[in-house]
Amino acid sequence: MLDLKALLTDERGHLALLSEERINPALCKALKVIGYNKQYVRGKGAYLFDEAGNRYIDCLSGFGTFACGRNHPAIRESLKQAMDLDLPNLVAMGVASLSGLLARELIQLAPGQLDMVFFTNSGTEGVETSIKYARAATGKSRIIHCKRSFHGLSLGSLSVNGNDEFKEGFGPMLEPVTAVPFNDLAALERELARGDVAGFIVEPIQGKGVFVPSDGYLPEAAALCRKHKAIFIADEVQTGLGRTGKMFACEHWGVEPDILIVAKALSGGYMPVGAVLSKRWIHEKVFSRLDRCFVHSSTFTENDLAMAAGLATLTVLKEETLVENSAAMGNRLAEKLRAVGGQYEMFSEVRGRGLMLGIEFKQPTSLTLKMGWNLLHSLDASLFCQAMLIPLLTEHRVLAQVAGHHLDVIKLLPSLVINEDDVDYLVGAFDQVMAACHRFPGPVWEVGKRLAGAQLRG
């Protein structure tokens, strides 16, 4: 039998090198440059731990996967049960044990009238599914998406990605596809009016940059889609399942999508899984005849461990009132960050909902700070925030990320289990890092210079 524990103990010292040699050398080098090449040995709840036992507050949470926290014991227990039951997993041509149960739960929770569920292995697969569904349902082909959108990196999803950096070298993309500015109803209507649009895909709150729409945008966009017989697709892969302080972000604005995609958090952090919820009529257009019953599928759809993880995750979200905690802790964090940030010249705003927050910085007016700001921005538009994130990690043990390319926005996406002490700690850490970056010359600018040098060297 494989003794995983022994294997890990023996190999711990080789893991970084193996990763660099065999998985992604460029990523490993980039992590080294920014001091993020730490080896964590344990995860628990909202925290990561390194070998020395230091605790880090994880504000990345696996890009939003660990809504329930890492290694949640109740989810683990349900998964153990699923294994111990010797279920007839993946029969493919037979009745699956758990998928109907999870589908029923998701439909109950989802906004509006959604009827049918297709289970995927990832967020991007959910997006691919939604594009196919929109085309099959409408008989039209064009997909509209928003600028700055992120919907995953497989080719269909990449084609509706609003950040060109991801597309370089992978063209040609799926066509026809058109990008419109987020929050711009007139632009959306102009495109819809051309009459060839199968669907409009949108993140209710954009993950890259954490952009929140104005109140009327999403309901109006959904109404315009209906008027022009296009499918309104809400990509809630990141925002879904409590992240924004509601079970689904659509609920903030009373939006009822035709298709809703979830993934990430549904996994409980254990099993890759996603789900595409759709209206029955759309589903019937896809699976329109008996001989089309497999026309959209995948080997691992409905797999029992993924379904068990999903069911257990929904139970934990409910039992631990994590959606409410996300709203409460998100408000506390945003308010306190605003209060602290207000003292600093380069602080611009905190935006987002629940525990999906972006802290934006702006060009200073005082001469010396402006010099530093301009210097870093002339080298790379994301360098300023990265220079703040490094001391945040190394000195304050807070793991977070820049919210996207060419942005002065730090994104916070902690687990929904964080508590008031965590929030207050985060605010204190930001206070200190913001204070440091307002000293020029000072430690944050030194880090920036070092980063810039590393970048120039290649």
Residue 233 tokens, joined: 């697709």
How many Cβ atoms are within 10 Å of 28's Cβ, its own excluded? 16
Output the smallest distance, CB 122 to ligand PMP, in A: 4
Q: Footprint of ligand PMP on this chain (CB under 6 A)?
A: 63, 122-124, 127, 150-152, 203, 207, 235, 237-238, 263
Active site residue 264: yes
Q: CA-to-CA distance for 272 and 267, rounded, in angstroms?
A: 6
How many angstroms separate the Cα of 276 from the Cα of each of 114, 159, 255? 10, 19, 16
Output the smallest distance, CB 434 to ligand PMP, in A: 27
Q: Choosing from 264, 285, 336, 411, which is the catalytic residue?
A: 264
For strand 55-58 and strand 398-399, is the pairing parallel, antiparallel, or unpaired? parallel
C-beta separation of 278 from 114 below 8 A? yes
Task: Identify which of residues 99 and 161 has a Cβ nearer to ligand PMP in the complex.
Answer: 161
Task: Identify which of residues 263 and 277 has a Cβ nearer to ligand PMP in the complex.
Answer: 263
Output the smallest distance, CB 234 to ligand PMP, in A: 10
Output the smallest distance, CB 161 to ligand PMP, in A: 9
Q: CA-to-CA distance for 167 and 172, rounded, in angstroms?
A: 9
Task: Identify which of residues 263 and 389 has a Cβ nearer to ligand PMP in the complex.
Answer: 263
Task: Identify which of residues 265 and 350 has a Cβ nearer to ligand PMP in the complex.
Answer: 265
C-beta separation of 422 from 46 below 8 A? yes
C-beta separation of 424 from 416 below 8 A? no
Residues 6 or more apart whose Cβ sits within 8 Å of residue 181: 146, 147, 187
Output the smallest distance, CB 164 to ligand PMP, in A: 17
Task: Identify which of residues 122 and 423 has a Cβ nearer to ligand PMP in the complex.
Answer: 122
Task: Identify which of residues 70 and 264 has a Cβ nearer to ligand PMP in the complex.
Answer: 264
Q: Choosing from 66, 118, 150, 182, which is the catalytic residue?
A: 150
Output the smallest distance, CB 255 to ligand PMP, in A: 15
Output the smallest distance, CB 364 to ligand PMP, in A: 31
> Which residues make beta-bridge pairs with 360?
349, 409
State how far Cα 1 lies from the chain centre. 36
Maximum Cα–Cα distance across the chain: 71
Residue 20 tokens, joined: 């660099």
Q: Choosing from 119, 211, 235, 411, which is the catalytic residue?
A: 235
Active site residue 336: no
- Shortest-Cβ-distance residue relative to ligand PMP: 123
Task: Identify which of residues 142 and 151 has a Cβ nearer to ligand PMP in the complex.
Answer: 151
Active site residue 150: yes
Q: CA-to-CA distance for 266 and 288, rounded, in angstroms?
A: 29
* Straight-line distance from the first to the last Cα atom of the chain, in angstroms, rounded to the nearest whole number: 44
Residue 182 tokens, joined: 């987020």
Q: CA-to-CA distance for 452 and 458, rounded, in angstroms?
A: 10
Q: Is 36 exposed, middle or buried (0-12, 13-18, 19+ CB in 10 A)?
A: middle
* Residues noted as catalytic: 150, 235, 264
